[in-house]
Amino acid sequence: MSETILEGQVAEGEGVPPPSSGEQGDGSGPEGPQGRPVHLALLDAVLQGNSVTVTILAIFTAMVVGGLLISFTDTTVLHAWSHLFSAPGNAFAQAWDAAAGAYSAMFEGAIVNPHTVAAAFHGGSIAAVFNPLSETATRATPLILAGLSFGVASRAGLFNIGAAGQFIGGAMIAGWIGFAVHLPIVLHIVVAVIGGFAGGAFVGWIVGFLKARTGAHEVIVTIMLNYVMEFLILYLLGLTVFRQHGRPDPISPPVASNAVLPHLFGSTLRVNVGFLIALAAAGAVWWLLERTTVGFQLRTVGLNAKAARSAGMSPERTWIIVMLIAGGLAGLAGSAVVQGTDFVLTPQIYGNYGFDAITVALLGRAKPGGTVLAALLFGALYAGGTQMQAQTQIPVDIVTVLQSLIVLFVAAPPLMREIFRLRATRAAGQTEARGWSA
Amino acid sequence: MAKGGALQLELRGITKRFDGLVANDAIDLTVADGEIHGLLGENGAGKTTLMNVLYGLIQPDEGEILIDDKPVRFRTPKEAINAGIGMVHQHFMLVPVFTVAENVVLGVEPTRPLGLLDRRRARREVLDLSKRYGLAVDPDAYVEHLPVGIQQRVEIVKALLREASVLILDEPTAVLTPSETEELFRIMRDLKESGRSIIFISHKLKEMQAIADRITVLRRGRVVGSPPPSASDAELASLMVGREVELVVHKEPAKPGDVVLDIEDLIVLSADGMVAVNEVSLQVRAGEIVGIAGVQGNGQTELSKALLGLLPVGGGTIRIGGEDLTHTHTRDLLESGVSYVPEDRQEDGLVERFSVAENLVLDIFHRPPFASGITLHVDQIRESAKARVAEYDIRTPSIDTPARTLSGGNQQKVIIARELGRETRLVVANQPTRGLDVGSIEFVHRRLVEARDAGAAVLFVSTELDEIYALSDRIAVMYEGRIVGIVPPTVPIQELGLLMAGGALSGEGAAGADLAGTNKEPEPA
Amino acid sequence: MERVSVSTAVIAVRRTVSLERRVVLGSLLVVLGLLDALVFGPFSHGDAVFTFTLTGAKVSVPNLTLAAGPVSEGLGAGTVVLGLVYTGLNLSKIPRRLVAGACLFAFVVAFLCWSDAGRISLPFVALLATTMTSSIPLILGALSGCLCERSAVINVAIEGQLLFGAFGAAIVASAFGNLWLGLLFGALCGGLIALLLGLFALRYRVDQIILGIVLNVFAAGLTGYLYDAALVPYQNRLNSPATFNPIKLPLLGDIPILGPVLFDSTIFLYITYVIIALVQIGLFSTRWGLRVRAVGEHPEAADTVGINVIATRWRNVILGGLCAGIGGAYLTIGSVGSFGKGMSSGQGFIALAAMIFGRWTPLGAVGAALLFGFSTALANILGTIGAPIPSDILLMLPYVATIVAVSGLVGRGRMPKADGQPYVKA
């Protein structure tokens, strides 16, 4: 029964909308939608569980939960709470201090540290004032690209869990071009970046090809490829060709200075051209999705593969193209890290970017603009988290907890509505369950 | 109330409304014990809704159900089952990967200690029932490997295990061969002997006459008659479809030109491997409208999909404009001048979350002036969309509104605007006015006639006889995957109903009609 | 109505696809055989020695010495013949599987011979024993996946359940000095993640794949944070659990070769045996299992016979979480003792792959998990004896195998029909 050619026809259900909200145009201009005064429109948005509202509430709730976690794993706080009934004020004050201290440290690490501002007025370094923002932007760079990778694939109805593997593919090629090839300055950077894109695109293409030809589910293939790539880079870094001279550990030679992405604001601030590349990529993805035939096809297949077929499109070809692009974007993230911040290839270079891609894209509703904003938020959390750990010894893993909480809350607007008693008039950006079926 | 034995069932005044549509309108139905009661009607007559009410799947707005003169309420199917109502759905409620025995006992499984399934007892119970009622089934066979006729028997055994006194069979012969149908009738008669009642839902006249003790005819949600089974085909058909033609389309007589669409011995398999289109031959000329009449499920959908390359062709040829385009990709067919109005506008015709403007270019976005190379010319798309919205009077707040907020009629207008608003030589439309209000229906008909007059060949499928009559220059009737007749729109409606229900033509109307097998154009009179 | 002419069209279509797949697979087998004969054979220098006795065993089994070259070439020739047979003859299911299995077995033997040729002997029993123990979290995770997916809930959060279970078990066992309490708590921690999975999947109908991944991220973040915040500073109290000692079963444990592999291990292995039996028998021989599978395949049909679809799914999700939690507990109190960040290191995903590779059946999942565990153990052992193949490449094997499986090359598996689709009463 399972061998008829007719089963090879993908039995699609409706292509389910990717995690993007239904409304296209929200409150434009001072008049707001339908010409109502702004403040009333805002009030409506709050009461109706509009997706921006849900996002903000989700972030807020996550921070509250995170704050509770921080407080109640702090020994001083726990000690104060053991005397809750004798000194209740102190207990709450300590709890508040712990959480507030953590979040303010985060703020100082991500946005601005008032001390540096004050110091600047007395002849201190101006660059230091902008360091937190620079860190945020630097951390956000690969997140933007990885988030775009997952996002663009999801607009076509595909789950690209393989950003990590595609990242590695891109990092490997970009890194190799960086340290093994000798080219003049600008050309070297460009070739390496293109190589990064190509490396990631190839890994992505495998996924798309298998899905189009055999119906293999992209979730499994991407997860498996992640591991394959992890072992591949481990293997390659064991080869002398790839290894740094005289070092026993798996680390590649450093990327040539000609291939390094230049800093944007001087050498004390880490933010580099990679950030511009990421923003440009976001713009390019927007242009692709909204202003090209390819993007039109992509979006159609993602929303309703059946209608796409009836309109003459080929979902299979679309999947291959999309995975190429998504893989390439993740590969660019790899190139941005190798050429912009790390400068060497290591086995763990892909860090957490694989899963960050997903959380960033989910928060940004798979739209390029939203993805940039979400990546900046998470970049801020990471940058701030590092500072927070340095200052308060609170482990930086709290950022991961916050991230996943935000995404969980955003993914379930009904939950937010229940907590905040919002009226459910519109399904605000609810991710619709699709399961294994394409 | 005797469960598993005799039972008197009465439905009184059942009314059910869905969103303003009256599916059941004050329906009275009595089923005596030991009786096979036939429920006859076309698609949309309200038969399935009525049975869903009886089975507890939906609640009626008005009316009541009485068993042995006592009013009962079924809030869930379980309550109906407990009261002795058993249902064999049109789409089987069987788990394909389970065996027959497992399916039959699901929910009432015999168990050994520790909750272990007592498979032996299950098998025995199935075999017992099977022997007692002559329903030969193999308890160990996997349902997915069984032919549809046997699967149906499993459903019947399932109902009998739960001691059903009234068995509802919803279009059971829709998926059976003639010999399987005979088998089913034998089973039904045996069940009748045991005192059970059977409600037999169908649109097939001959079968009604053969098996039913009494017949109730539904049309548009109402009971329109209770003829005896001895009534003639013609009488039953006329009750089923009504006598008046209610819609009139103003059109000039057709001026057919060259043959545009030439289908020869076409074989198309449906998604589950069954033969849906069985050696169909048909020709449609430029400047004529051919309507395919027939009850839903006789191969019309598969035929129209195959014409657009959406289903693989298993045999035969499709020629458009003389060119063999049998195995061509959908896009190439569309580009060669074919327009397609799919049956399910929401699933196949539109992307609901796209704007009206985007939907208006869904299958032509890549052609100039909407795109050059890879770049979309959004301004052109928008200009064109605004023009179309005005020209086709599409009621929408703006061209950026998501299509899903539009009414059904306006959604269909978007599709029509897209498909007919461009140069086309062949229009394939499947149920183009399903679910539309009168105004929209008239609009769609007008546009189809315009397309015809501009020289296109129009082939459309419809289950609405009014529409078939009003629109067609020629009518082809499909029944069980074949074209059983090609008749002019002057043919009396009873004759048409007969053909649709598998009957044979007689006397007037036979001239100009071809029965079974290949159909070539009758010579112009 | 003649159906004859048309049904031949149907049969013709079916036969073509079958032939295509046979050719592809058959040629793959031939390629394997050629590898055996032309690569492993000629490049093996010397003899391969396999030892089968652990020190201190009651019964001593003699070593097996194979002349690696000739053996590989012989096996290769045989495989090529079998591959041609596979392509040429239209075999039915069981002979097909036997042929493919034989070829794969020959390939593995040839590979081992080549790897060991001329090197120190390969400790086969140690290899098998490590396979069993390292497969425990994989098996339990795969069974957890089975339980969930059989009722049509996708569980990608196995990784998070393993991690959280490991974490919980270590803390409680350490804090209360009681291993059994730790085991229980580990299971409950797995169940906690499952609770979140159920809540968001069944009540809020979030997409289950994304949900699973986010839960994994959450578990990793939470355990990582608590590790730094609590486990490191209070290591002695919170992260120094004892570990279960291996228990050797009398008589069974002394069987040559298999004894030390199957019957001489911690309680976790025996619990795993019990759970395998429970899940297999439960799903396929009990009333509970029938209803679960009905819910997973055709929830509508189940609903019409009165089965509560959502409740059934909730129960299975929680059970799955408990099962994976036990697997997680093994990672700490069954193995190394203390908890380390990210110590599940992707085993949850391997377990997921094992379930899919094993076609959503418990025994299949166990088989696949063992296969994956074997290749990992093999990679490590080959590393110690200095085998010619880099271990990293070997470690890739399970993942490549899964990709091949999912691409339908080894036949399309049958996942529960309603998998991942939330059930909404019509």
Domain ranges, ordered by start, for chain A: 9-92+397-425, 137-377
Does the beta-carbon distance from C297 to B95 stay under 8 Å?
yes
Q: Answer yes or no: is C251 within a domain.
A: yes
B148 touches chain A (CB under 8 A): no
Q: Are C335 and C188 in the same domain? A: yes
Q: Are C24 and C61 in the same domain? A: yes
Pick the more confident residue, A18 or A193: A193
Contact of C168 with C188, CB cutoff 8 Å: yes
Q: Are C114 and C140 in the same domain? A: no
Domain extent for C93: 2-119
3-state secondary structure of B215: strand
Q: Answer yes or no: is C424 within a domain.
A: no
Q: Are C233 and C350 in the same domain? A: yes
B350 touches chain A (CB under 8 A): yes
Q: Per-residue pLDDT for A141 more than 90?
A: yes
Q: Per-residue pLDDT for C86 more than 50?
A: yes
Nearest to C228 among A234, A359, A395 (CB): A395
Q: Are C96 and C138 in the same domain? A: no
Radius of gyration of chain B (CA): 25
Q: Report the pLDDT value the prediction gives residue A127, as an integer from 0 to 100.
A: 80
Structure tokens at C46: 């010397």
Q: Report the pLDDT value the prediction gives residue B150, as an integer from 0 to 100.
A: 85
Does the beta-carbon distance from A307 to B400 stay under 8 Å?
no
Q: Answer yes or no: is C263 within a domain.
A: yes
Read out DSSP for B326-360?
A: TT--HHHHHHTTEEEE-S-IIIII--TTSBHHHHH
Q: Per-residue pLDDT for C372 more than 90?
A: no
pLDDT tens readout for residues A262-290: 888 888 888 889 999 999 999 999 999 99
- Once rounded to an integer, what is the mean pLDDT over residues B210-234? 88
Through-space distance between the first and last CA atoms of chain B, rounded to whole angstroms: 64
- Give B339's pLDDT tier (boundaries 50, 70, 90): very high
Q: Are C267 and C156 in the same domain? A: yes
Structure tokens at B7: 């039972």
Q: Where is average pLDDT lowest: A33-47, B305-319, C149-163, C307-321?
A: A33-47
* Closest A-chain CA to B144: A1
Mean pLDDT of chain B: 85
- Give C34's pLDDT tier (boundaries 50, 70, 90): confident
Distance from CA of C25 to the nearest CA of B (A): 25
Q: Report the pLDDT value the prediction gives residue B175, as an integer from 0 to 100.
A: 67
Size of interface A-C (CB pairs under 8 A): 180
Does the beta-carbon distance from C218 to A7 stay under 8 Å?
no
Q: Per-residue pLDDT for B115 more than 70?
A: yes
Strand partners of residue B479: B482
- Once rounded to an integer, what is the mean pLDDT over residues A319-335? 96
Q: Per-residue pLDDT for A162 more than 90?
A: yes
Distance from CA of B354 to the nearest CA of C (A): 22
Q: Per-residue pLDDT for C4 more than 60?
A: no
Q: Per-residue pLDDT for C200 more than 60?
A: yes
Q: Report the pLDDT value the prediction gives residue A421, as an integer from 0 to 100.
A: 67
**Chain C stretch 136-155, residues whose beta carbon is closer than 8 A to a beta carbon of chain A:** 154
**Chain A stretch 231-290, residues whose beta carbon is closer than 8 A to a beta carbon of chain B:** 290
Q: Report the pLDDT value the prediction gives residue A431, as an integer from 0 to 100.
A: 41
Structure tokens at A166: 């595609």
Q: Per-residue pLDDT for A246 more than 60?
A: yes
Q: Which of A156, A155, A222, A204 is nearest to A362 (CA)?
A: A155
Through-space distance between the first and last CA atoms of chain C, rounded to whole angstroms: 38
Does the beta-carbon distance from B375 to A296 stay under 8 Å?
no
Q: Per-residue pLDDT for B43 more than 90?
A: no
- Once rounded to an integer, what is the mean pLDDT over residues B391-401? 89
Q: Are C295 and C150 in the same domain? A: yes
Q: Are C31 and C133 in the same domain? A: no
Nearest to B93 among C289, C301, C426 (CB): C301
Q: Which of A413, A369, A359 is nearest to A57 (CA)?
A: A413
Q: Are C281 and C133 in the same domain? A: yes
Per-residue b/e over A81-117, b at no fewer than 16 CB within 10 Å? beeeeeeeeebeebbeebbebbbbbbbbbbeebeebe
Q: Per-residue pLDDT for A144 more than 90?
A: yes
Does the beta-carbon distance from C211 to A404 stay under 8 Å?
no
pLDDT tens readout for residues A177-211: 998 888 888 899 999 999 999 999 999 999 999 99
Nearest to C286 among B78, B116, B315 (CB): B116
For residue C287, the chain B residues in CB contact (below 8 A) are 109, 111, 115-117
- Give C2's pLDDT tier (boundaries 50, 70, 90): very low
Q: Which stretches of B61-199 are DSSP H helices?
A: 77-82, 100-105, 119-132, 148-161, 178-193
Residue A394 contacts by C-beta under 8 Å, 6 or more apart in sequence? A70, A102, A105, A388, C229
Q: Per-residue pLDDT for C154 more than 70?
A: yes
Q: Where is average pLDDT lowest: C16-25, C97-106, C125-134, C334-343?
A: C16-25
Mean pLDDT of chain C: 85
Nearest to B271 among A6, A17, A309 (CB): A6
DSSP classification of residue B472: -
Q: Where is average pLDDT lowest: B104-118, B173-187, B463-477, C163-177?
A: B173-187
Q: Are strands B457-462 and B289-293 parallel, antiparallel or unpaired?
A: parallel
Q: Per-residue pLDDT for A29 more than 60?
A: no
Mean pLDDT of chain A: 82
Q: Which of A317-331, A391-405, B41-55, C256-270 has the largest mean confidence?
A: A317-331
Q: Are C160 and C104 in the same domain? A: no
For residue B312, the chain A residues in CB contact (below 8 A) are 5-6, 9
Q: Report the pLDDT value the prediction gives residue C6, as an integer from 0 to 100.
A: 52
Q: Are C60 and C192 in the same domain? A: no
**Chain C stretch 305-364, residues whose beta carbon is closer than 8 A to a beta carbon of chain B:** 305-307
Nearest to A400 among C221, C409, C419 (CB): C221
Q: Report the pLDDT value the prediction gives residue C315, as an integer from 0 to 100.
A: 96
Q: Where is average pLDDT lowest: A77-81, B108-112, C352-356?
A: A77-81
Here the ipTM equals 0.81
- Rounded Cα distance, C148 and C352, in Å: 11
**Chain B stretch 211-270, residues whose beta carbon is closer than 8 A to a beta carbon of chain C:** 267, 269
Does the beta-carbon distance from A231 to C393 stay under 8 Å?
yes
Distance from CA of B57 to the nearest CA of C (A): 9
Q: Are C59 and C166 in the same domain? A: no
C11 touches chain A (CB under 8 A): no
Task: Look up the CATH number of the domain holding residue C259.
Answer: 1.10.3470
For residue C1, the chain B residues in CB contact (below 8 A) are 177-178, 278, 480
- Once rounded to an integer, what is the mean pLDDT over residues C381-397? 78
Q: Which stretches of C308-346 are DSSP H helices?
A: 309-331
Distance from CA of B54 to the nearest CA of C (A): 14
Structure tokens at B256: 């057919």
pLDDT tens readout for residues B146-204: 877 788 889 999 988 988 899 999 888 766 766 778 888 988 998 898 889 999 998 77
- Once rounded to an integer, what is the mean pLDDT over residues A234-252? 82
Q: At what angle do helices C158-176 and C208-226 cross, to 10 degrees?
A: 30
Distance from CA of B314 to the nearest CA of C (A): 6
Does the beta-carbon distance from C286 to B114 stay under 8 Å?
yes
Which of C119, C135, C161 is the last residue in one of the domains?
Answer: C119
For residue B149, the chain C residues in CB contact (below 8 A) are none
Does the beta-carbon distance from C287 to B93 stay under 8 Å?
no
Q: Report the pLDDT value the prediction gives residue A392, as an integer from 0 to 100.
A: 84
Q: Report the pLDDT value the prediction gives residue A49, as an integer from 0 to 100.
A: 53
Q: Answer yes or no: is C196 within a domain.
A: yes
A222 touches chain C (CB under 8 A): no
- Once rounded to an integer, what is the mean pLDDT over residues A352-379? 92
Radius of gyration of chain C (CA): 24
Distance from CA of B407 to the nearest CA of A (A): 18
Q: Where is average pLDDT lowest: B17-26, B423-432, C141-150?
A: B17-26
Residue C373 contacts by C-beta under 8 Å, 6 or more apart in sequence? C131, C132, C134, C135, C138
Which of C68, C85, C119 is the last residue in one of the domains?
Answer: C119
Q: Which of B462, B400, B469 is nearest to B436 (CA)?
A: B462
Q: Report the pLDDT value the prediction gives residue A137, as an integer from 0 to 100.
A: 93
Contact of A140 with A376, CB cutoff 8 Å: yes
For residue B329, the chain A residues in CB contact (below 8 A) are 312, 314
* Closest C-chain CA to A211: C407
Distance from CA of C424 to the nearest CA of B (A): 14
Contact of C181 with C194, CB cutoff 8 Å: no
3-state secondary structure C120-158: CCEEHHHHHHHHHHHHHHHHHHHHHHHHHHHCCCCCCCH
* Closest A-chain CA to B401: A24
Q: Report the pLDDT value the prediction gives residue C379, as an integer from 0 to 100.
A: 81
Number of domains present in the structure of chain C:
2
Does the beta-carbon distance from C213 to A3 stay under 8 Å?
no
Q: Where is average pLDDT lowest: A366-375, B72-81, B323-332?
A: B72-81
Q: Report the pLDDT value the prediction gives residue B518, as an integer from 0 to 100.
A: 36
C220 touches chain B (CB under 8 A): no
Q: Where is average pLDDT lowest: B37-51, B274-288, C274-288, C327-341?
A: B37-51
Q: Per-residue pLDDT for A118 more than 90?
A: no
